[in-house]
Amino acid sequence: MNRVENDEKNKKYLNGSRIDCVCYDDLRYGGFASDFTMNNEVAVKNKKLVRNLAIVAVAMFGFGYALVPLYDVLCEWKWIERDRPDAIKAIPETAYEIDVNRNIKIEFLTTLNENTPMIFRAEQTQITVHPGEYHTVNFYAENKTDKPMIARAIPSFSPALTSTYFEKVECFCFSEQTFAPHEGKTMPMRFVINPALPYDYQTITLSYTFFDNTQNAVKK
Amino acid sequence: MKKIKQLFAGVTFASLGLQSAQADYTLNLMQGVTTVSHDIFDLHMLILWVCVFIGIAVFGTMFYSMYHHRKSKGHKAANFHENTTVEIIWTIIPTLILVAMAIPATKTMLELDNVQNSDMSIKVTGKQWYWDYEYLGTGVHFESHLDAVSEKVHRDGSDPTRVPHYLLNVDNPLVVPVGKKIRFVFTAADVIHSWWVPDLGWKKDANPGFINEAWTQVDKPGTYRGQCTELCGRDHGFMPIVVIAMEQADYDKWLQTTLAKQNEKPDLSDQNRQQLMTNGEAVYLKNCVACHQIDGKGINGTYPALSGSAKVTGGIDPLIGFLQAGTSRMPAFAKLKDNELAAVITYIRNAPELGNKVGDEIQPKAITPVYDDDE
Amino acid sequence: MSAVTAEHAHDDHHDDHAHGPEKGWLRWIVTTNHKDIGTMYLLFALAMFFVGGAMAMIIRAELFEPGLQFVDPQFFNSMTTMHALVMVFGAVMPAFVGLANWMIPMMIGAPDMALPRMNNMSFWMLVAGILLIASTLFMEGGAPAGGWTLYPPLVLQTGKALPFAIFAVHLLGVSSIMGAINIIATILNMRAPAMTLMKMPLFVWTWLITGFLLIAIMPVFAGSVTMLLTDKFFHTSFFDAAGGGDPVLYQHIFWFFGHPEVYVMILPTFGVASTIIPVFARKPLFGYSSMVYATAAIAFLSFIVWAHHMFTVGLPIAGELYFMYATMLIAIPTGVKVFNWTATMWKGSMTFETPMLFSIAFVVLFTLGGFTGLMMSIAPVDFQYHDTYFIVAHFHYTLVPASVFILMAAGYYWMPKWTGHMYNEKIGQLHFWLSAISVNILFFPQHFLGLAGMPRRIPDYAIQFADWNMISSIGGFIFGASQLLFLWIVIDTIKGGTGEKVSDEVWEDAHKHGLEWTLPSPVPYHTFSTPPTVIPCDHD
Ligand code: HEM
Ligand SMILES: [Cu+2]
Ligand SMILES: [Cu+2]
């Protein structure tokens, strides 16, 4: 069937008159089937709808990615737990009044991710501090291989909600650490507990996990 | 109710000609041994009964109708198709039930969340495929693997039915004192795991790079078993958890002996071949078998075979260095003591089940350190 | 309820020109006819139902007894992963798309789908996607074994198969998005003039809503697996803590897709049930408009409850409570549906042919799945249920004796219309009873196993779980074998069935319930070239 015949049929369809059959599956015909099988009005409507729905689909693909930053925002709203390496808090060390009546126990945990051949420990695993008081805790890390190593320490807090009150002035976790073969380093972490910490919390756990990023860093 | 259910189960088994291998099967959730686990159990029963009653009402109506409103009984169809009153009623009543459920559920949720004011803390690290426990502030730190018998039986295909606590037993259980609020901190070193002991009432995921926390207070001394509940790879089914709760005095004693044992210098004196092979097998089952398999054949395309491997049967010093340093695809086994390394090297070079037969013995003093693990 | 006088634009035949199907096998490759494509979708889904079923048989065989008897744990994990992927993306979803293709144009008085070319393309893309994912079984390192949820970091340990599996997911995603767009366009633009929205059969309504769900979620899924891909091969760190990412973020994104996805598999099910039950109760559907609103409500709620799959990942308390309350809410519209079906049967004049039997079993057994869903929505109790066999029982109740049973019901219900032949009612009923009994032997004991402490996704288990596992496996084998009866029936019916001539309306007074029953049986290749002018309305 050729296009002219088709158009004839479409016209009949438009007029609402009866036709036997509209050819829907004539693949030998070039354009989209919808070009010729439906009256124009419907074809135009379809095209528009398809375009809009396709835009929605593409937008939803983007939305998937938008969930990544959205997640961080939600975390800040305390809906969903997560704690990111914190930016350096540039506060003068006298900014807070020391609350000597409160004692907060701070625990330091160290973990090595799989295939991270290091030694890693906190020199003090547990200290008690007053809110507002500045402290430095040293961590020791050593590369056990005879190759250079680039590693990164990822912090995590428990209870997660305390992370915003735990203000770090100096930390080895702010950036990747480079180790020479068999190099051992003592790395300080200086912090203060914001006195606004709610009274519900008496213990804060801060965990660091070291990840060997050498391969990734090299490839990049 | 329990009796009736067990009776029902018994009848089912009898009619199928089955025998329960162990009589301690259960049909319902465990009540557990903590206050929280009891609360959870009560919530479970409450919501279960709510469902049972709604079910009876709905299915009762439906079956009544199916019996009486049949064409074969000559029932003529009515023609109604809506009734606002009824529809409002059956929207409101469930809503009220849900609100009533939400109240105790919220209470229990808050209780579970209250981790502060604990008496002690234990760090739990999930690893492929065992657990690592660290008693914070005490220096006690050990690994907890599937026990050797289960390990062997599930791998060599022998009959598991006679193994005590098959797949639910470990070499080093987690020991806790009763009556103390214990805080757990969870993390993982590779993939996500999840730590579950039903008797404690909850499970918690162990995420790599992050920590989670939960708490428990066990009231009753006893042994409580659980498993990893987040798919973590090939041997996910083989990393159980055993918690032993004991009186404070017993716990203190346990803590001391464990600490002493942990700090003990390993016995580096010579061993005879038999000792080396037996110890070597134990080390192999704990550390190597997951990848290299019980027959040493490895997994095609993923983990290399030890059987007939030149690296295994060749020079000893390179082999020692290799084990201590690991590779990107095999962890470093620097954590193994010299006597353990010597034993496992002797074992992999000579075990008939691995198909190797070098015919030598490696003694602990032959182990030269590549580097020391001083942790 | 108006009578039907839809014009038949077809019996006075059109063999005068080449508008029948293409001759030979080429017909099936190039066809753009909604009936051909529907048939292909349905047969493909049936084939995948058996492929996925074979995997389930391997799983149940390994779990028949404690100890490892047949397969390696890694392969076992591949089986659970592939079983789920094949069943979800290869069987249940395509089967509903097949039904949509066949029935929606006929139900709304349209001559075909709005976009016939795209229709053909989405089918073949589906085939390509499924073949690709099946081919990973033969790759080095084996098929994906990290569970159908593809959680990192575990899924990144997959061998060579990972990029292929991800690309397959992309293909499947694009295929279902195109399918969904087509269905929405058909429903919104191609209805016969008299077919107003609130006159549409519920199957059409539920698919309209499902179509929107698909367009909203499949791209999100595609995005999440793309992030996996770039994390693995291009050094991004969306989910890698080492680079500042978070594996839990993946779970949020996945379940943002995953929870609506389970509703994609159940909403059309609701639609079919609402179509079949009134016919055999000889009574209009109770509460048509509340059914529509309940469906929309469920679809809406499905976007805001995702983290009920993640109660144990360590959400802060506010999150736990919010997701618990929101999830509990779903029970309300779901309840409305169940009550409506019950009220439809009430004071009807029921007969129990095979489609009705499957539909009733659906209502009862789906409700059981809904009950366990309600139980799991209570967050503190889910701390016990999560990732055990209890949840395996939950979602299998909502998928097998619900979605799959309704697909069976739909098959029996419309097969006479499609083929013009009557299926064998005796064998159909035998198939029903064997399936209904064995599916409960298969899945009911899994509640006990989960409560007693058996985790999901394990190839071997402690001795105290032995008895119920054995019973469950026996149920599984009977269920699997019973489905061969269905295969036999499909073949037999296509070949001629009982040989009796079926009438146009097939089921007593069915023409009052749907336009499709005004067409001849078997349906001619082209229908409703001229829109019908009077629409049967089951409710008004
Ligand atoms: C009243 C309605 C429902 C409620 C309240 C509900 C609730 C839940 C909850 C809380 C979970 C998570 C359980 C856990 O992982 O611990 C879950 C899992 C699941 N549900 Fe439902 N559900 C409902 C209906 C459905 C329906 C209709 C379907 C499918 C057609 C479905 C399919 C699933 C699936 C597939 C999973 C498990 C996914 C996985 O982890 O692999 N549910 N449901
Ligand atoms: Cu696991
Ligand atoms: Cu869900």
Query: For the segment C431-458, what is each residue's pLDDT rounded down to a tens digit?
Result: 999 999 999 999 999 999 999 999 999 9
Based on the residue annotation, tell me whether C17 is a catalytic residue of this protein.
no
In angstroms, what is the span from residue C395 Cα to ligand 2's centroid? 21
In which band, very low, low, confident or very high, does the pLDDT at B22 lie, cut at 50, 70 and 90? Answer: very low
Range with the poorest average pLDDT among B93-97, B215-219, B220-224, C141-145: C141-145
Subunit contact B301:C470, Cβ cutoff 8 A: no
Tokens of B338: 């010299």
Q: Which residues contact B156 (CB under 8 A, 6 or more apart)?
A: B294
Which member of C232, C259, C421, C447 is catalytic?
A: C259
Task: DSSP letter for C72, please.
Answer: -
Q: Which residues contact C41 (CB under 8 A, 6 or more apart)?
A: C94, C95, C97, C98, C101, C123, C126
Q: Which chain B residues have a beta carbon less than 8 Å from that of A207?
A: 185, 187, 210-211
Give residue for tokens 């659970």: C80
In which band, very low, low, confident or very high, does the pLDDT at C19 lie, cut at 50, 70 and 90? Answer: low
Asked if A112 and A120 touch (Cβ cutoff 8 Å), the reply is yes
Q: Are residues B166 and B233 in the same domain?
A: yes
Is the residue at B13 inside a domain?
no
Of B162, C366, C247, the closest CA to residue A81 belongs to C247
Based on the residue annotation, tell me whether C398 is a catalytic residue of this protein.
no
Q: What is the mean pLDDT of chain B?
A: 86
In which band, very low, low, confident or very high, does the pLDDT at C536 lie, cut at 50, 70 and 90? Answer: low
Q: Which chain B residues have a beta carbon less than 8 Å from that of A205?
A: 121, 185, 211, 213
Give the minimum alpha-carbon distance from A189 to chain B in angstroms, rounded to a whole number.
Answer: 18
**For testing contact with chain B, the best of C151, C467, C512, C537 (most B CBs within 10 A):** C467
Percent of chain B with pLDDT over 90: 48
In which band, very low, low, confident or very high, does the pLDDT at C350 lie, cut at 50, 70 and 90? Answer: very high
Percent of chain C with pLDDT over 70: 95
Based on the residue annotation, tell me whether C308 is a catalytic residue of this protein.
yes
Question: Tens digit of pLDDT for each residue in B342-352?
Answer: 888 889 888 88
Does residue C7 or residue C517 have the better pLDDT? C517
Question: Tens digit of pLDDT for each residue in A112-170?
Answer: 988 888 889 888 888 999 988 888 899 999 888 888 888 888 888 888 888 888 888 87
Does residue A77 or residue B184 have the better pLDDT? B184
In angstroms, what is the span from residue C308 Cα to ligand 3's centroid? 6
Residue with the smallest CA separation from ligand 1 atom 26 is C398
In which band, very low, low, confident or very high, does the pLDDT at C313 lie, cut at 50, 70 and 90? Answer: very high
Q: How large is the average pLDDT for residues C267-282?
A: 95
Quick one: which ligand is closest to C151's CA? 1
Is the residue at B33 inside a domain?
yes
Does residue A18 or residue C372 have the better pLDDT? C372
CB atoms < 10 A from the CB of C467, how many? 22
Range with the poorest average pLDDT among A51-65, B216-230, B290-304, C25-39: B290-304
Based on the residue annotation, tell me whether C349 is a catalytic residue of this protein.
no
Which pLDDT score is estimated for C32?
86
Q: How large is the average pLDDT for residues C504-529?
A: 86
What is the distance between the alpha carbons of residues C68 and B234, in angstroms, rounded to a whole number? 13
Does pLDDT of C501 surpass 90?
no
Which pLDDT score is estimated for C79?
95
Based on the residue annotation, tell me whether C337 is a catalytic residue of this protein.
yes
Q: How large is the average pLDDT for residues B117-140?
A: 92
Which atom of ligand 1 is nearest the CA belonging to C258?
A: 38
Of A115, A135, A144, A126, the closest CA to residue A212 belongs to A115
Among the partner residues A21, A81, A152, nearest to C529 by beta-carbon distance = A21
C249 has a chain A CB within 8 A of its CB? yes
Is the residue at B66 inside a domain?
no
Of C255, C78, C164, the closest CA to residue B236 belongs to C78
Q: Which of residues 339-358 of C touch B (CB under 8 A)?
A: 339, 342-343, 345-352
The C-alpha torsion from B102 through B107 and B108 to B113, rounded to 10°, is 120
Residue B151's domain comprises 120-262
C374 Cβ inside 6 Å of ligand 1: yes
Which pLDDT score is estimated for C534?
67
Quick one: which ligand is closest to C264's CA? 1
Give residue for tokens 């000579």: B350
Q: Which chain A residues have a beta carbon less than 8 Å from that of B332?
A: 115, 117, 144
Identify which of C394, C451, C457 to mutate to test ligand 1's pocket (most ligand atoms within 8 A of the CB). Answer: C394
Q: Which of residues 82-101 of B touch C (CB under 8 A)?
A: 82-83, 86-87, 90-91, 94-95, 98, 101
- Can you list the alpha helix ranges (DSSP code H) found in C191-316? 202-233, 247-264, 267-281, 288-301
Question: What CATH number does the domain containing B199 carry?
Answer: 2.60.40.420
* φ/ψ of residue A109, rounded to 5: -115, 145
Alpha carbon separation from C26 to A34, C21, C222, C490 (Å, rounded): 21, 10, 32, 23
Which pLDDT score is estimated for C179?
95
Tokens of C16: 């005068």
What is the distance between the alpha carbons of residues C507 and C199, in angstroms, rounded to a whole number? 21
Q: Count Cα atoms within 13 angstroms, Cβ side, for C334.
A: 24
DSSP calls for C99-118: HHHHHHHHHHT-SS-S-HHH
Based on the residue annotation, tell me whether C526 is a catalytic residue of this protein.
no
Of C395, C372, C368, C410, the closest CA to residue C84 belongs to C395
CATH class of A89-219: mainly beta
Does pLDDT of B372 surpass 60?
no
Which atom of ligand 1 is nearest the CA belonging to C374?
A: 5
Which pLDDT score is estimated for B9?
52
Tokens of C147: 């569970």
Three-class DSSP category at C145: coil
Is the residue at B298 inside a domain?
yes
Q: Are residues B221 and B132 in the same domain?
A: yes
Long-range contacts of C494-501 (CB under 8 A, 24+ apart): C494/C419, C494/C421, C495/C421, C496/C421, C497/C416, C497/C419, C497/C421, C497/C422, C497/C423, C497/C424, C498/C421, C498/C422, C498/C423, C498/C424, C498/C425, C499/C421, C500/C422
Subunit contact C242:A213, Cβ cutoff 8 A: yes
Tokens of C190: 């191609």
Q: What is the mean pLDDT of chain A?
A: 74
Subunit contact B210:A156, Cβ cutoff 8 A: yes
Q: How large is the average pLDDT for residues C189-196?
A: 86
Subunit contact B328:A112, Cβ cutoff 8 A: no
Domain termination residue (choose one: B262, B295, B315): B262
In which band, very low, low, confident or very high, does the pLDDT at C15 lie, cut at 50, 70 and 90? Answer: very low
Q: How large is the average pLDDT for residues C162-179?
A: 95
Burial C27-65 (b: 16+ CB within 10 A, else e): ebeebbbbbbbbbbbbbbbbebbbbbbebbbbbbebbbb
In which band, very low, low, confident or very high, does the pLDDT at C9 lie, cut at 50, 70 and 90? Answer: very low
Which pLDDT score is estimated for B352?
86
DSSP calls for A72-113: HHHHHTTSS---PPPPP----TTSSPP-TT--EEEEEEEEE-
Beta bridge partners of B227: B196
Q: Which residues contact A125 (CB under 8 A, 6 or more apart)?
A: A107, A108, A109, B136, B137
Q: Which domains are delineated in chain C?
A: 37-518 (1.20.210.10)
Q: Are residues B277 and B336 in the same domain?
A: yes
Instruction: Parse chain A into domains and list their residue ranges.
Output: 1-80, 89-219
Q: Are residues B355 and B307 in the same domain?
A: yes
Does residue C331 or residue A2 have the better pLDDT? C331
Q: Are residues B326 and B193 in the same domain?
A: no
Provide the edge-to-edge strand list for the sheet that holds A118-122.
A118-122, A134-143, A184-193, A166-170
Q: Are residues B233 and B297 in the same domain?
A: no
The C-alpha torsion from B274 through B279 and B280 to B284, rounded to 10°, is 140
Subunit contact A25:C12, Cβ cutoff 8 A: no
Is the residue at B329 inside a domain?
yes
What is the distance between the alpha carbons of residues C257 and C306, in angstroms, rounded to a whole number? 8
Which member of C112, C320, C505, C538 is catalytic?
A: C112
Q: Are residues B233 and B301 in the same domain?
A: no
Quick one: which ligand is closest to C149's CA? 1
Is the residue at B80 inside a domain?
no
Tokens of C207: 């698919």
Q: Are residues B133 and B213 in the same domain?
A: yes
**For testing contact with chain B, the best of C80, C463, C509 (most B CBs within 10 A):** C463
Q: Which of residues 24-43 of C touch A (CB under 8 A)?
A: 30-33, 36
Q: Are residues B239 and B352 in the same domain?
A: no
Q: Are residues B200 and B230 in the same domain?
A: yes
Q: Chain A interface residues facing chain B, Cβ-Cβ under 8 Å?
A: 82-83, 107, 109, 111-115, 117, 119, 121, 125-126, 144-145, 154, 156-159, 182, 200-203, 205, 207, 209, 211, 215
Does residue A78 or residue B259 have the better pLDDT? B259
Which pLDDT score is estimated for C511?
83
Tokens of B92: 């409101």
CB atoms < 10 A from the CB of A176, how many? 17
C19 has a chain A CB within 8 A of its CB? yes
In which band, very low, low, confident or very high, does the pLDDT at B254 lie, cut at 50, 70 and 90? Answer: very high
Does residue B189 or residue A116 have the better pLDDT? B189
Task: DSSP letter for C98, please.
Answer: H
Based on the residue annotation, tell me whether C60 is a catalytic residue of this protein.
no
Question: Tens digit of pLDDT for each residue in C113-136?
Answer: 988 889 999 999 999 999 999 999
What is the distance between the alpha carbons of residues C186 and C296, in angstroms, rounded to a whole number? 19
Q: Are residues B202 and B258 in the same domain?
A: yes
Does pLDDT of C519 surpass 90?
no
What is the distance between the alpha carbons of residues C398 and C337, in angstroms, rounded to a whole number? 14
* φ/ψ of residue A158, rounded to 5: -140, 130
Does residue C30 or residue B48 have the better pLDDT? B48
Q: State the total domains in chain B.
A: 3
Does pLDDT of B21 surpass 50?
no
Based on the residue annotation, tell me whether C456 is a catalytic residue of this protein.
yes
Which atom of ligand 1 is nearest the CA belonging to C308?
A: 10
Percent of chain C with pLDDT over 90: 74
- Can you list the alpha helix ranges (DSSP code H) found in C2-92? 26-30, 34-62, 73-85
Does pLDDT of A12 surpass 80?
no
Q: Are residues B124 and B172 in the same domain?
A: yes
Q: How large is the average pLDDT for residues B143-153?
A: 90
Does pLDDT of A215 surpass 80?
no
Does residue C522 or residue C259 have the better pLDDT? C259
Q: How large is the average pLDDT for residues B136-161?
A: 88
Q: How many residues does chain A have?
A: 220
Does pLDDT of A34 surpass 60?
no
User: Rounded to a whole number, what is the largest CA-CA distance in chain A?
Assistant: 94
Q: Count Cα atoms within 13 angstroms, Cβ side, for B90.
A: 22
In which band, very low, low, confident or very high, does the pLDDT at B152 lie, cut at 50, 70 and 90? Answer: confident
Find the helix or strand (DSSP H, E) in which A17 lies.
Answer: none
Tokens of B141: 């730190």
Q: How large is the average pLDDT for residues C270-288?
A: 93
Q: How large is the average pLDDT for residues B111-125?
A: 91
C367 Cβ inside 6 Å of ligand 1: no
Range with the poorest average pLDDT among A215-219, B194-198, B354-358: A215-219
This model of the complex carries an ipTM of 0.89
Which pLDDT score is estimated for C37?
94
